Amino acid sequence: MKQITLILASPPYSGQDLDTVIGIAEAALQRGHRVAVVGSGDGTYSFLKGQRASGVPNAEKAFSNLIERGVQADV
C-alpha cells in the first residue's frame, strides 16, 4: 500500500482538473492505496458545500463520497 497525495489548485468548474483528481483518487482507493487530496488556492472551492453547478460533475458530492471511503482532504 502506498500513500498518494494529490494537489488540486484549480477552481472546480474551470476545466478537467477536478475530474482528473477524482478519477485518480478513485482508482488509487480501488487498488488499496491511501489517498490525500490537498486543496490549494482556488482548488479549495471544490470542497464547499451547497454548490449548484449544472451539466458537470458535482464536486461536493464527489468529495463527500471519497471522504466517506477514506480519502483525507486538507484545505
Per-residue pLDDT in tens (0 to 9) along the chain, 75 residues? 899 999 999 998 888 999 999 999 999 999 999 999 999 999 999 888 887 777 777 888 899 999 999 999 998
Measured CA to CA, the distance from residue 37 to residue 9 in angstroms comes to 10
The residue ranges of every structural domain in the chain are 15-30+40-49+57-75
* pLDDT at res. 32: 97
**pTM for the whole thing?**
0.88
Measured CA to CA, the distance from residue 3 to residue 12 in angstroms comes to 24
* pLDDT at res. 57: 76
For residue 45, what are the CA distances in angstroms to 12, 41, 52, 57, 64?
A: 6, 8, 12, 14, 14
* pLDDT at res. 41: 94
